[in-house]
Structure 1
């Protein structure tokens, strides 16, 4: 039987985390990741890959388990692990994550590529794309980030602020967590100075807020399935653009169209679900 220590017998740091779990989670997600990334960028001057793969595991992944252990003990950690491995959900949610989301991302290409004529699938590029997808799926950002953003933060933010406001908060925090990467020239169109980086980062931040509504809806409807969130996130990170639209550049104009499309989708989901986002309250 698992025994939980009373507050008076807990260590001071554990009591502090247990008293402010959401705040503790975000602090533990940001501070270690930011420190690690800034050292890699400015002190060690390491290349972007592979060092960036460790940041999510140092941040939101570790934070989710540390705070869960402090607040809910071993039973809570086991519950978090069960959610991360919850793969037995309806096939339609895998279809949304693996087909619907990529399809919408690719539809956003049409306004900036000259229309359907730009659709020229290149089978030769599929192997390279598949390798990148598996690599990112296993060791990249999604597996490190999603246990924190979705499985830990999403249900707690919804309980505290409601589905809409909670998702807004999470979308902003999710985008802010990526800020150090925009100090690297060329990352997501970041420039060499603040002025040249402001617009790309603003678009990225807006996109994380918009797509967070889709992720919250998927999380709620799939009963908190970790694999669904990781798959959806991986399709966002590993674009099918080189496979389906070779020759079309993934530039800032394309990302602005994505921002507009997913902002519209977020509004549709909020209206269609009457702000509940598929949420049924605490599970």
Structure 2
């Protein structure tokens, strides 16, 4: 009798998750991350409610304080919901987008070179052209390893969930623009607890900071949706684009614009301006379609796995 009840509950839960995949994903993504981030928020690296501090790795506490919660969030939530709702075929489709690396080389240039160039141009009005500096050789040598590290950490932790799982479900349901805006808002909300830690510049944080950040998440999401759609849903390009933003500010930005220092607000303003402008251009040029083609039906064939449009 007990086994039947337990089996019934499992079947009922699977049915619920299968019926409400997006809701299940977002609840799990936010819930798992927020629970895992609680010690980080309470520590001396956060609000200081508890008398302990996360040790630094490569000069930051984020590897041990933030990254575990990031890995437990979007990617784990996407895996759980996909496994329950889609079984092995669903997991193959989900993982298949991670292997869609055979796209036009221009998309790699856009993600790896175009992003930092745009951010440099966007930083000039804030710092002044006369205050630019040539970064030391050490910084230039660190760019590629830093990008690889960003892709394997932040990129892998987030993009298999946001872009690989959620976006393909949200575009057919809400349309490319509304679906992207909703995803951007949730992406921003997911980060909220981190504004109570060193990551968000705590204690020098006001209500404006998470609001500005969320608007930036919407703008970045618009760009990433366009790239994702135009590359045949290539997750490697999305990973590189996301990683390029973080990598530029983590390694090169402070050396190129030393007068801006390590200002959270300055970097936040620059991201908003650069990606806000790019988002506006894309909305006008694509008429809000962002490269989305409703006729593109996901299949489980090798050809579809490698499909990409230039």
CA distance in 1, matches of 2:120, 2:107: 19
Q: 2:217 aligns to what?
A: 208
Q: 1:241 aligns to what?
A: 253
Say whether 1:259 aligns with 2:259: no
Residue 246 (structure 1) shift:
4.3
CA distance in 2, matches of 1:259, 1:120: 24
Q: 1:46 aligns to what?
A: 54
Q: 1:70 aligns to what?
A: 84
Is this contact kept in 1: 2:260–2:266, CA < 8 A?
A: no
Say whether 1:114 aligns with 2:114: no
CA distance in 2, matches of 1:66, 1:274: 35
**Residue aligned with 1:173, SS:** helix
Residue 93 (structure 1) shift:
1.1
TM-score, normalized by length of structure 2? Answer: 0.81
Residue 57 (structure 1) shift:
1.8
Q: 1:27 aligns to what?
A: 27
Is this contact kept in 2: 1:220–1:279, CA < 8 A?
A: yes
Residue 181 (structure 1) shift:
0.9
Q: 2:207 aligns to what?
A: 198
Is this contact kept in 2: 1:125–1:242, CA < 8 A?
A: no
Q: Comparing 240-249 with 251-260, which one deviates more in the overlay?
A: 240-249
- Alpha-carbon distance change, 198 to 190 in structure 1, aligned in 2, over 3 angstroms: farther
Say whether 1:150 aligns with 2:166: no
TM-score, normalized by length of structure 1? Answer: 0.88
CA distance in 1, matches of 2:63, 2:131: 36
Q: 2:293 aligns to what?
A: 280
CA distance in 1, matches of 2:267, 2:62: 24
Gapped regions of structure 1 (runs ≥ 5): 1-7
Q: What is the 5 A alignment of 1:91-110?
A: 91-110=105-124
CA distance in 2, matches of 1:40, 1:276: 40
CA distance in 1, matches of 2:117, 2:262: 16
Which one of the candidate residues 226, 241, 251 is aligned to 1:232? 241
Is this contact kept in 2: 1:18–1:67, CA < 8 A?
A: yes
Q: 2:15 aligns to what?
A: 15
